[in-house]
Amino acid sequence: MLRLVLGALRARTAQAWTVFALAVLLVTAATAGPWYAAAAERRAAAADVAVAPVEQRMLSVRRQLDPDGDAPVALTTFRATVDRLLTVRDGAPVLGMAVSMSFGKGGESSVTAAYRDGVCGHLRIEGDCPRAAGETIVSGATAEVYGLHIGDTVVFSSQPGAPQEQARVVGRYELADPAGAYWANPIFRREVAGNIDPFFLAADAFSSGRFVDPTFDYTTTVPPAALAGADLADQLRRADYTLRGAGYYLIAPTQDLLDRIAADRAAIRRGVLTGALQAVILCWFALGLAGRHTAGDRRGDIALLKLRGSTRRRVLRLAAGQHLVPLFLALPVGYGIGPLLARTLAGVVPAEESGAVWRSCLVAAAVALAGGAAALIGAELPVLRAPVALLLREVPGRRRGWRRGAVDAVLVVLAAVGAFQLGRNGFAAAVPVLVAVVLAVPLARLLGAAADRAGAGALRAGRLRLGLTAVQVSRRPGADRVFAVVAVAVAGLTAATAAQAAGDTARADRSGQELGAARVLSVQVANPTALLRAVREADPGGRYAMAAVVDDTARPAILAVDAARLGAVGRWLPAYGPLPSLTAGDAPPATVSAGQLVLRARNAGERPMALAVHLQDIADGSLLTVAFGPVPAGEHEVTAAVEGCAGGCRVTRLDLVRAGAGDSLTVQALRQADRAVFDSAALGDPRLWRGSAKGPAMSVVARQGTLTLAQAPPPYRGDSSAFPMAAGLPLPVVVAGAVPDGWRLGDPSVDVFGSGAVPVRIAGTTAVLPSVGTSGILLDLDAAQRLGTGGGGRTEVWLAPGAPASVVAGLTAAGLVVLGDDTVSARADRLAGQGPAVATRLQLITAGLGLLAAAAALAVAVVVERRRRLTELRALRRQGLPARAAVTAGRAGYAAVVVLGAAAGLLAAVVARLVSGPPGRPFVDDWQVLPAPPALPPAALGAAVGAAVCVLGLTWWLAALPLARQVAGTAPSVFAGDGSGSETGGRAAR
């Protein structure tokens, strides 16, 4: 039996190699899936962890404790207890203590007094690090606001009347790595301490007992392996239960990250299952088609075996053996190629999981080969059951009968139901292939009927090439099945290519919207004024760099940009609408310089009061406060010294200090040397002054050449500030999304950079803005920084495409510290690591495998029919059929099937998308800020159909080439004339 099988394989090597190739594709598709899923899940989880906010990767354990006179020992005991109870941790923890205290220097504010391990290594310090009790360091921003200098003494108390703790300021600090993991814990950041950064002290300071019951904190990172694992949530729940039982509190803001990782896993598994199953089923159909054509070619052999008395079982074993040999030989080849392909695309699988993955690949390969063998043997059964007379018949019978029609009808119904159900349950990627089945099966039957009629008509009209081609399509029993397989393969490839292209566009659009420019530098700078100055010095022409500040914590969120450069540098998308004009009108700035400042004022009350004049350096944005007074009752002139302001300072705010309810101070003049800072015209112009529009505020009245500041009586006493107009108001803004509710009831205003509520006017509305998304406002940074006294939000430098390295070098030379560097392409690449994108890539690969399977099925159909077709065409040639008509008829039959099948596949892909909508979510977090890109990009459709036609066309050309050469070499009969006329050829063909 084995010799017979091998002999049969040698007799039909082309068919055997085709079955072998199809089996290799089948096993490759089946084994690539498990490996790709395992590796891609790991990579997607790692990508999610890499882009997640750093606080989502941190764990913090806290408890209020009494240091009991020795804070360092209490910290050591605290760490030992948490080390024993918390099993989910990575590396050495960072210990700290924090407590809210009252801080007084000319008033009282709530601040955080804190100690943290290694804090000085994460700060840039001017001065010294606190090393003993009684020493502290303060942030540069807090020092400017409260006028603190190195050497000053600050006083802390737990509550009014409680014992006080004094500490000497030994240094000023700035965060060295504000975006790093060290600063992810919010109790050591400004977010908890209001507008004042924490005061850091030595650990021994907490031993005094005046810092009552500080919060002890233990911060650690979650191990990356645990984040990528599936049981982290359970581990954290168990740890939280254990810690709470001991009186400790676990803060684990990882749930959003875990949900994102779980969603990625689900998307990858759905995508891998969809893509691999489509390729496997298409390979099964292709194998069944190859088996049917091969069985048809063996009809004479089977008839001879039956005539010699072979039993049906023996014939079946012989036929099955010819298929099982190439299938078994394909197993090790596909088993090696599949995981190798998946490893190339998705990476390696961890060693501890590789054994299970290899076993999954083996099971998948066995199931796929079993299905392939069933398809091949099932295709043989009709031939094996056929009587000898039918097997010896050379002319194909007409394809009629209810069985085949019933099978086609059932297949169409199942495909339609499957498309509906899968499209509603997250498997939208499978819909185009199922729609292709729904369309291709009836179209294939119509193709045969149409070709039959067209062929008869063409032959009667003497159009030999068209007629013979149509007859070949209609009379060959496998042409309609090849058409259906080609249509399904092209539909799958077209849909996968379109999904990949649409996903690439969506990721690029999202990256551009979130960043705002082609490249964005996150920088550390003292204030917006210094940011503007540095950017303008680095890029004087305004072609490559733009300063921007993004405040996501404001409501609505604020995006402030150097509006004059937005058009040249920003990535302005069509969804934002027309480029707005945000330039505010200028107001004459009130400036002072170093020297004596003279205030003439009238105190209408009975008690003395003071006036604080807040200044901002025009060059670097640093803040300075000049205090006048106290001013006794009546009219007086008082002086104060201005230190610094070598390049000039602008007046940003006037504050009443120590004013009681109903007290008022009338400013009559503010001058420096012989120059008026505010003359009577400026003081009496109500257009140049405003009070705070945020909550209760004092009365600010400008009239008759004076400015009167009056504190409101209780219970309306509130803000005690007056702001000079340093920019034209109201500021023009562009609003994204709904207008804030407060703007509907009163005058629109927004608080920018500590300026109080600044009046604004709506210069435009849009659905979405760069960086802030669907809810936020866009305004001019230059105007905003002239109105504000500080900073807030993320400070960034946006760079245009092609920005030279000299611009970045100029930024650092101007004093900016670059904390991060991101580009649209880099962010899009990170988004491409998420589950939906990873799944789409595999679906594109498996669609390519399906196309190769369709090409193999086409090749076996052409090769198997070549001998019979050659006999027919030679007979026609000898009867006078022209050589060109014979060659065309030999080639064009399946060429028409390829072209029509590709058109049907394209139609199916388009119909599927029109019916079911987009192929699926391009992002795991359901991001929908921008309109979705077209689901069927014309370029992607053209590329997919073009690639399919090239592959299938080349396969057809190579398979049909020997037939064309042999037909062309056949000489016409001497009794048929010269063959030049069409009448003789037409009679021969008929």
CA triplet 288, 293, 298: central angle to 5 degrees? 120
Quickly list H helices, 173-298.
224-228, 232-245, 255-297
List residues bridging with 136 in a β-sheet.
Answer: 169, 201
pLDDT of residue 388: 67
Largest distance between two CA atoms of the chain? 137
d(CA 367, CA 373): 10
In sequence order, the 6+-apart residues with CB closer than 8 A to the CB of 754 are 195, 788, 789, 790, 791, 792
- The CA distance from 39 to 575, in Å, is 37
φ/ψ (deg, to 5) at 763: -90, -15
Going through 745-824 in order, the beta strands assigned E by DSSP cover: 749-751, 757-766, 776-780, 794-799, 817-823
Instruction: Give yes or no for residue 981 having a pLDDT over 60.
Output: no
* pLDDT above 90 (res 549): yes
Asked whether the whole model's pTM tops 0.75, one would answer yes
The pLDDT confidence band at residue 297, using thresholds 50, 70 and 90, is low
Partners of 521 in the β-ladder: 797, 821
85 close to 239: Cβ distance less than 8 angstroms? yes
Q: How far apart are CA 989 and CA 467, in angstroms?
A: 9
791 versus 443: the higher-pLDDT residue is 443
Percentage of residues in the chain having pLDDT higher than 90? 29
Residue scoring higher pLDDT (913 or 586) = 913
Contact 663, 709 (CB under 8 A): no
- The pLDDT tens digits for 900-958 are 889 988 998 888 888 777 777 788 887 889 988 888 899 999 999 999 999 998 988 88
Per-residue model confidence (pLDDT) at position 722: 85
The yes-or-no verdict on residue 33 having pLDDT over 70 is yes
Q: What is the mean pLDDT of residues 436-449?
A: 78
The pLDDT of residue 403 is 64
* Residue 713 Rama label (left phi>0; alpha psi -120 to 50; beta): beta
- For 232-247, the pLDDT digits (tens) are 888 888 999 999 999 9
Q: Which helix (H) or strand (E) holds 877?
A: helix 835-878
Distance CA 99, CA 192 (A): 11
Q: Assess contact for 735 and 765: CB atoms under 8 A.
A: yes
Kindly list the distances between the CA atom of residue 524 and the CA atoms of 177, 286, 519, in Å, as whole numbers in the listed order: 9, 62, 17
Q: Which helix (H) or strand (E) holds 703?
A: strand 699-703
Residue 977 is predicted with a pLDDT of 45
Pairing of strands 545-551, 153-157: unpaired
Q: What is the pLDDT of residue 105?
A: 47
* Interior angle at CA 118, CA 208 and CA 167, nearest 5: 35
**Residue, of 723 and 980, whose pLDDT is higher:** 723
Higher-confidence residue of 116 and 935: namely 116
Q: What is the 3-state secondary structure (H, E, C) of 829-863?
A: HHHCCCHHHHHHHHHHHHHHHHHHHHHHHHHHHHH
**pLDDT (average), residues 535-541:** 94
pLDDT bracket for residue 971 (50, 70, 90): low
List alpha helices for 386-527, DSSP H. Answer: 388-391, 402-424, 431-460, 464-475, 479-515
Mean pLDDT to the nearest integer, 286-310: 70
Q: How confident is the model at residue 129 (pLDDT cuts 50, 70, 90)?
A: very high
Q: pLDDT (tens digit, 9 = 90+) per residue, 465-497? A: 677 767 676 666 667 788 888 998 999 899 899
Residues in the chain: 990
Task: Give the residue-averaged pLDDT of 510-517.
Answer: 93
pLDDT band for position 97 (50/70/90)? very high
Q: Specify which residues 700 forms β-bridges with.
A: 709
653 pLDDT above the threshold of 60: yes
Residue pair 532/472 in contact by the 8 Å Cβ criterion? no
3-state secondary structure of 156: strand
Q: Give the lowest-confidence range in 102-111, 289-298, 926-935.
A: 102-111
Alpha carbon distance 539, 528 (integer Å):
16
* Contact call for residues 600 and 628 (beta carbons, < 8 A): no
Q: Is the pLDDT of residue 856 over 90?
A: no
Flag the least confident range among 256-270, 685-699, 904-918. 685-699
Q: What is the CA radius of gyration of the chain?
A: 40
How much is the pLDDT for 178? 79
Model pLDDT, residue 484: 85
Tokens of 34: 């498990």
Please tell me the predicted confidence (pLDDT) of residue 693: 58
| Per-residue pLDDT band at 891 (split at 50, 70, 90) | low
CA geometry: angle at 558 spanning 252 and 780, to 5°? 150
pLDDT level of residue 661 (50, 70, 90 thresholds) = confident
Crossing angle of the two packed helices 883-916 and 938-968, in degrees rounded to 10: 160
What CA–CA distance (Å, rounded) separates 636 from 63?
55
Confidence of residue 690 (pLDDT cuts 50, 70, 90): confident
pLDDT average, residue stretch 696-725: 77
Provide the token pair at 799. Answer: 């760079």
User: DSSP secondary-structure letter at 336?
Assistant: H
Is it the case that residue 839 has pLDDT exceeding 70? yes
More confidently predicted of 878 and 258: 258
Q: How is residue 461 written in tokens?
A: 């009209």
Task: Give whichever of 277-291, 420-434, 792-806 has the largest mean pLDDT.
Answer: 792-806
pLDDT at 160: 67
Residue 61 has what pLDDT? 94
Question: How far is the C-alpha of 758 from the C-alpha of 766, rounded, in Å?
Answer: 21
Q: Indicate if the pLDDT at residue 263 is higher than 70.
A: yes
Task: Assess whether pLDDT exceeds 90 at residue 536.
Answer: yes
For residues 261 and 252, give the distance between their C-alpha atoms in angstroms, rounded to a whole number.
16
**Local structure of 157: helix, strand or coil:** strand
Q: Which one has a higher pLDDT value, 382 or 223? A: 223
Q: Which helix (H) or strand (E) holds 702?
A: strand 699-703
| Number of helical (H) and strand (E) elements in the chain, helices listed first | 26, 31
Most confident of 408-422, 529-543, 699-713, 722-736: 529-543
The residue among 144, 126, 143, 138 whose CA lies nearest residue 623 is 144
Q: In terms of pLDDT, which residue wins out, 183 or 301?
A: 183
Q: Which two tokens stand for residue 772?
A: 């802030």
Continuous segment of H or E residues that includes residue 912: helix 883-916
Range 572-602 burial, b when 16+ CB lie within 10 A, else e: bbeebbeebebebeebebbbbeeeebbbbbb
Flag the least confident range among 328-332, 415-419, 779-783, 904-908.
Answer: 415-419
Structural element, H or E, at residue 612: strand 609-617
d(CA 374, CA 99) in angstroms, rounded, equals 74
Asked if residue 710 lies in contact with residue 661, where contact means CB atoms within 8 angstroms, the answer is: no
Q: Which domains does the chain have, with CATH numbers?
A: 1-55+230-243+255-393 (no CATH), 90-221 (no CATH), 401-508+834-990 (no CATH), 526-585+749-815 (no CATH), 591-726 (2.60.60)
Each residue of 602-629: pLDDT tens digit? 998 888 888 989 888 888 888 888 889 8
Q: Copy the structure tokens of residue 324.
A: 């099982």
- Mean per-residue pLDDT for 299-319? 67
Q: Please state, as a whole number, how many other Cβ atoms lie within 10 Å of the Cβ of residue 194.
A: 12
Nearest CA among 295, 280, 285, 304 for reference residue 477: 295
Average pLDDT over every residue of 634-663 = 85
Helix (H) or strand (E) segment spanning residue 82: helix 71-85
In this prediction, residue 791 has a pLDDT band, given cuts at 50, 70 and 90, of low
